[in-house]
Structure 1
Amino acid sequence: MTKTQILFETTEGSFKAELFTDEMPITCGNIIDLMERKFYDGLYIHRIAPDFCVQFGCPYALNPHVIYGTLDEDAGQGSGPPDTTFLSCSGKEHTRDEYGNIEDELVKGLSNEEGTLSMANSGDPDTGGSQFFINTKDNRHLDWWNGSSESAHPVFGKIVEGYEIIKKIEGVEISAEQPVNPIKMISVTIEKE
């Protein structure tokens, strides 16, 4: 079985994640397509919530100083490229909606445990697109099947190398959940084993 790993290079250091391509073919296909489009390269990490998560992937986070909650195009409000198609990891074609979002892929058993990658969304169904977060503690209350949260956050991968970089990022000085000193995602690339 081929393992698909992603290398994240940031201004704070690098880390790797493994994608759950067999269990989450639509979500992973979406993420892989965005990486191949270089969608993530140059974006800034726009949200750090200590003892919860590190989040990025908003196309509006090209400017590290856009404050969340003040504009329609704030960091945290964007999604993938609207009305575009991509192939799932099972080879089926899917289309992002007019907002750049994909359908929720809900697979029971993939829990929001510490070190996992999970799709961010607005809280409504089928509103995940390009943004995701890395759980920095066990956040099982976000698992769609336990009913603790109104929103469903599908897990699609896990950190396999460099988790200490995530913890370093989580510990930087923040203001309104944004790093005081911007942290840039230099590049996100795919490695297949």
Structure 2
Amino acid sequence: SNSKSALAQAGKALKSSIPAIMKAVPATEAERATTLIATVSKDIQAALEAIAAGNGAAANAAQSDSLRQLSALEELIAAGYAQPTPPKEYAGLPYLRGRAEVEFVIKRPGEKFDVEGKLYDTVQLTTVIDGYTAPLTSGNFVDLVQRGFYNGMRIQRSDGFVVQTGDPSKEGSDEKAPNGYVPAGQTAVRKIPLEVFVKGDKQPMYGSTFDDDGRGGYASKLPFNAYGALGMAREEYDPDSASTQWFWLLFDSDLTPAGKNLLDGRYACFGYTVEGAKFLADVKEGDVITSAKVISGLDRLVTPQ
């Protein structure tokens, strides 16, 4: 299957890049880096074995763990990295330097969640938000989370492809509610530009898709290639229309082969779900985000002065 070949490729890629990784890691962290690489290799092997045995839950768990270890490895490499500041024209927007973690708790009014035959009162998910690759999208998101914007908001779409929320105008009977976030003292919805990053470039590209830039089909630095990847929703024909709506991608490698999907380079991917992704399979419209909170990295949020 696609999942199997993708994992086998990932294992090979990891093996061949070990010398480059070790060179990029500060000497004082070499031992920790070696341990992390070994754990990722183990996770890839465990995921392959789980797929062969038809155990989707174990495969997902191994994938989640490998994403977490890779994230830690990237943090080691990034210790000496000076992240570029977003372009001056976006100085009025918050941005994220590095990474943050956001934890979600979701409840279903009056019912339990049924995941792989087990019942749960709440769903808990941990996500890593990646400001290295999508600083404005991540900064906007972390800023909204820490303001409590998503607390009490319902899941507004769940169609087997994405689980989406974030539109305050869909929350009640107030038809005049804005369809985004309006900062205090202002009347207009705060919007952010489309932010996509071609692999190999030095920084993200703003306001245009890979196709617009004549680079359709190029690889994305942060691809939509994992179950529970986070994406920013926007209006189809206006790349700079995103404000507060976002989605979890219910990635299926048979439907959306990595690098061949219709999201990379057209929508901003800004993070991954590293714990609890399997629960997304049973999250439905009307379920409620009882809490969304930044559990680490809030000190990396840069807000406009």
Please name the residue that 2:167 is paired with. Answer: 58
Show CA shifts across 1:31-50 (max 9, x none). Answer: 01111111111110000111
Matches within 5 A, 1:61-76: 61-63=170-172
Is the CA contact 2:169–2:175 (under 8 Å) kept in the aligned structure 1? no
Pick from 225, 238, 244 the counterpart of residue 130 of structure 1.
Answer: 244
C-alpha distance in 1 between matches for 2:144 and 2:194: 17
Q: Quick check: 1:111 aligned with 2:223?
A: yes
2:117 counterpart of 1:5: no
| C-alpha distance in structure 2 between counterparts of 1:117 and 1:21, whole Å | 13
Pick one of 133, 138, 157 that aligns with 1:23. Answer: 133
Contact 1:7/1:15 (<8 A) preserved? yes
**Larger gyration radius, structure 1 or structure 2:** 2
3-state secondary structure, aligned to 1:103:
coil
Unaligned runs of 5+ residues in structure 1 are: 85-95, 145-151, 173-178
Q: SS of 1:41's equivalent?
A: coil
Give the ranges of 4+ consecutive aligned residues of structure 1 lying more than 3 Å apart after TM superposition: 71-74
Q: Number of residue pairs matched?
A: 156
- In 1, the alpha carbon distance for the partners of 2:159 and 2:230 equals 15
Alpha-carbon distance, 1:184 to partner: 0.5
Tell me the TM-score normalised to structure 1 length. Answer: 0.72
Residue 29 of structure 2 is matched in structure 1 by none
Give matches, 1:28-47, under 5 Å: 28-47=138-157
CA distance in 2, matches of 1:101, 1:160: 27
**Aligned to 1:137, what secondary structure does the other structure show?**
coil
Residues 101-153 of structure 1: CA distance to partner in whole angstroms, max 9, x if unpaired? Answer: 11111112222223210000011110111110111025421112xxxxxxx21
Deviations 1:2-43 (A, max 9, x none): 641110011041111101111111111100111111111111
Q: Which has the larger share of strand?
A: 1
Q: Which residue of the partner structure matches residue 88 of structure 1?
A: none
Q: C-alpha separation between the residues in 2 aligned to 1:73 and 1:61?
A: 10
Gaps of 5+ in 2: 1-74, 76-97, 108-121, 199-219, 298-305
CA distance in 1: counterparts of 2:124 and 2:279, whole angstroms = 7
Greater relative CO (CA pairs within 8 A, separation 6+): 1
CA RMSD of aligned residues (A): 2.6
2:153 touches 2:288 (CA, 8 Å); kept in 1? yes
1:186 aligns with 2:300: no
TM-score, normalised relative to structure 2:
0.47
The structure with the largest helix share of the pair is 2
Structure 1 residue 100: Cα displacement: 2.5
